[in-house]
Amino acid sequence: MSSVDPLTAAGVLLATAATDAVYVMFTSAVVARKRVSAATWSSFWYVLSSYAVISYTENWAYVAFAAVGSWVGAYASLTFLHRPPGGPSAGPPVGASPE
């Protein structure tokens, strides 16, 4: 196994973070039955995931960077997708238990 290139590792991490964020947006568009939006997000999803797969198939050490990027992308996209209207002072986040 060859050494890990920091630039490639960062690229894989960012690509998988973006891939998961785009996947969340794709799923949201599908649930909302928005065909054009879902198709557009789907095409972005495949382009981003292709970069990550091509990068880490050469060196399996990049899978760890892909996993971290995946976690970051899903967490960040759900954080921004489920903001309550009106900002943080508008009440509890969506899905919070009633007091």
Name the least confident of 31-35, 39-43, 49-53, 55-59.
55-59
Whole-structure pTM value: 0.58
Mean pLDDT score, 58-73: 80
| pLDDT of 83 strictly over 80 | no
| Whether the predicted pLDDT of 29 surpasses 70 | yes
Whole-number Å distance between alpha carbons of 91 and 99: 11
d(CA 3, CA 16): 20
Separation CA 13–CA 3 (nearest Å): 16
